[in-house]
Structure formats: structure tokens, C-alpha cells
Amino acid sequence: MTDLDCNELVELVTAYLEGGLDDAETRQVEEHLAGCTGCTAYVEQIRTTIAGAQALGGDGPARLPDDVRAGLIEAFRNSRR
Amino acid sequence: MSSAAASDGLPHEEALVALLREGDEATFAALLDAWSPSMFRVARSIVATPESARDTVQETWLAVVGALASFEGRSSLRTWVFRILVNTARSRARIDARETTTSFVPETEDFAPAVDPSRFRAAEPWRGHWVSFPTPWPVPEDLALDREWVARLAEAVEELPPRQRAVILLRDVEGHTSQDVCQILDVTPTNQRVLLHRARASVRARLEEYFGADDHPETPDAARSNP
């Protein structure tokens, strides 16, 4: 059996996914997950949330307005003088 | 987790910095195109208006041009640029008075439980265990096609407290590493993790509400277990 309760495990999820737990803690988390449907679903949901957030990066505003872009390139050119 | 920096078709770090120092305009233009959209999103999370975010990006690039000669390579160029961006956005947010605080040190609300405590049993037996399990969600590939889900996710990120929003945007949306984010926002690794933890947990909770709505079809898994 594991010492972790579900309400404790959910607080370790980020450290776990970031590789921030020591070996003993990691083992505790993995043992708990192996036997707990609820926490396994929770961790999957967090992973899905991360994947969804990563996908948001794709659809941003387009590139800089042309005049701003041209102005910056000109500033770059002038900085060399 | 992969960094977005390698996927933008730019030369590698050393070559990139060398080309910029030589005054290579094509490289500078490529950099503007590759990083500005991401910079806009980050700026937008700190300043009050889209116009102000656009100005922040422009102001940042001008600062970068001016300071390029003094770039020492102690962080990656991308991290350095985003650090200038965040500092520029913070000064601007102070002027716009969007937020009374532009610090990224966690506050009390950032230490709130990841999951509503009422979701766990308060008494024995099974104290501290789920009252009812979270329902499994559809796989990410299917969710990516669910436009309402994506919109809810974007909304949930937008509504986070500014500190959490900045961290989840930089880490998960824009693909910076935890080390980079610590440098960009000037926070400790511990505080970065506190903010990321709470941000992801809050967004998950909001998305769970979406799946909990009565009008949403049950997941195949849930349907199987409830014949």
C-alpha cells in the first residue's frame, strides 16, 4: 500500500510531470497511480490540458503589420552604422 | 517537452547571433516573423489592450536592436528577447494600470488546492480519496477538433490570475522551458512550479465543467461502464 492519499497526489502532479520528485516520491506516485483509477484519470486530464494549451500556440495573430516590420528592419540597418 | 525555438526554421543559436551581429537583414526579418506572434500573445496577457501589446512588441524589438551588441549569451537569445518583452510589458501595464501588481511572486490564491476539497472523502473509510472519480476525457487528438473545447481552454487561460497566466502561456502555450521561464519572469524554480501547478489545475477544472455539462455526450469509456 502507498502512503499517499488522492488529495495529496493531485498536489504532486506538476512536480511529477516536471521530473521534480526524488526517486522515493516518484515511486510512491507511480504505485498510487497503478492502483487508482481516479488519479490516473486526473493525471491524464492534466496531460490533455497541457496538450491543448500547446496547440493554442499555433493560432495566434499573423505577423507584424508591414509598416512596423519595415520600420524595425530599417532600425536594424541603421544600428549598424 | 520540446521547445518551440528549434521548429521555426531559424539557424542555430550561435549562427543566429553571429548573423545578427554581422547585420544580416534576412535573418533579422526571419526572427521578426518567427517570434513576433508568440511575443504578441505573451504581451497581450500582461498589458491592457491589443494595441498596447502590438506597441510592446515593437518597443521590444527596438530595444533588442539597440542592445544586440551587448548581448552576452548568458541565456539563449530567445530567452533574452522574451525577458526584455516581459519587462517592457510590465512597465506598460503599470502605465495602463491594468494590474496593481506586475510581480510574479505567488500570492495566497496561488497556493489554493489543485482540486476542490469536496471532491475527496472527508471521513474514514477512504478519507482523502475521490468521492467519485474524474470521468476520462476524449483523447487530445479528438479534442483538438472540438472547437468549443479549444475556445473554453483559451478562455480558461485568459481568466487566470496574471501570474499564473504568464507562466502557463510561456510554458505550455509558447513552449519555453522551466529554466527559461524563471529567467524571463525573474522567479525561482519553486515559485514557477507553484504557479504552473495552480494554472494547469484551474484550467483542468474549467474543462471538467465543460464535460460535466448535461448537453455534452458521454465519453465512450463512460458509456461502456454505464450500460
Identify the CATH number of the domain in which residue A73 sits.
1.10.10
Is residue A48 in a domain? yes
Give the whole-angstrom CA distance, residue B67 versus residue B64.
5
**Residues of chain B with pLDDT > 90: what percent?**
57
User: Is it the case that residue B47 has pLDDT exceeding 90?
Assistant: no
Quick one: pLDDT at residue B27?
96
Asked if A49's CB is within 8 angstroms of B197's CB, the reply is no
The label of the residue with cell 487561460 reads B157
Sort out which chain B residues have CB atoms less than 8 A from A10's CB and list them. 113-115, 201
Sort out which chain A residues have CB atoms less than 8 A from B145's CB and list them. none
Residues in a beta bridge with B130: B120
Give the DSSP H or E segment for A69: helix A66-78
Minimum-distance CB partner of B37 among A53, A63, A68: A63
**Confidence grade of residue A57 (pLDDT, cut at 50, 70, 90):** confident
Is residue A35 in a domain? yes
**Confidence grade of residue B99 (pLDDT, cut at 50, 70, 90):** low
Q: Which of B19, B22, B68, B115 to probe the A interface (max A CBs under 10 A)?
A: B115
**Confidence grade of residue A80 (pLDDT, cut at 50, 70, 90):** confident
**Residues of chain B with pLDDT > 70: what percent?**
87
Is residue A1 in a domain? no
Residue range A22-43: average pLDDT? 96
Count CB atoms within 10 A of the CB of residue A7.
20
Strands (DSSP E) found in chain B: none
The C-alpha angle B133, B139, B140, rounded to 5 degrees, equals 115
Q: Is the distance from CB of B32 to CB of A46 less than 8 angstroms?
A: no
Main-chain dihedrals φ then ψ at residue B120, nearest 5 degrees: -115, 150
Question: Which residues of B, range 48-67, sit inside 8 Å of A by Cβ?
Answer: 54, 57-58, 61-62, 65-66
Question: Per the structure block, which three cell numbers stand in for B155?
Answer: 478562455
**Residues of chain A with pLDDT > 90: what percent?**
78
Portions of chain B given CATH number 1.10.1740.10: 4-95
**Confidence grade of residue B46 (pLDDT, cut at 50, 70, 90):** confident
Residue range A50-56: average pLDDT? 91
Q: Does the domain formed by B117-225 have CATH 1.10.10.10?
A: yes
Residue range B118-137: average pLDDT? 92
User: Is it the case that residue B223 has pLDDT exceeding 80?
Assistant: no
Give the whole-angstrom CA distance, residue B199 versus residue B182.
16
The C-alpha angle B143, B174, B8, rounded to 5 degrees, equals 105
Q: Is the distance from CB of A40 to CB of B150 less than 8 angstroms?
A: no
Query: Which chain B residue has the Cα nearest residue A42?
Result: B134
**Confidence grade of residue B49 (pLDDT, cut at 50, 70, 90):** confident
Query: What ipTM does the predicted assembly reach?
Result: 0.88
Give the whole-angstrom CA distance, residue A68 versus residue B187.
32
The boundaries of the domain holding residue A69 are 6-79
Residue range B69-73: average pLDDT? 89
Provide the 3-class DSSP secondary structure of residue B130. strand
Residue range B24-36: average pLDDT? 94
Q: Reduced to 3 DSSP states, what percent helix, strand and coil does chain B have, rounded to the nearest 5?
A: 65, 0, 35
For B4-95, the fitting CATH number among 1.10.1740.10, 3.40.50.620, 3.30.9.10, 2.30.110.10 is 1.10.1740.10
Asked if A7's CB is within 8 angstroms of B120's CB, the reply is yes
* Interchain contact B73–A (C-beta under 8 A): no
Quick one: pLDDT at residue B33?
93
- The whole-angstrom distance between A23's CA and the closest CA on chain B is 18
Quick one: pLDDT at residue B216?
42
Residue range A8-16: average pLDDT? 97
DSSP classification of residue B1: -
Minimum-distance CB partner of A53 among B32, B120, B173: B173
Question: Which residues of B, range 83-102, sit inside 8 Å of A by Cβ?
Answer: none
Distances (CA, A) of B4 to B38, B45, B172: 10, 19, 10
How many domains is chain A partitioned into structurally? 1
Quick one: pLDDT at residue B220?
42
Sort out which chain A residues have CB atoms less than 8 A from B32's CB and list them. 63-64, 69, 72-73
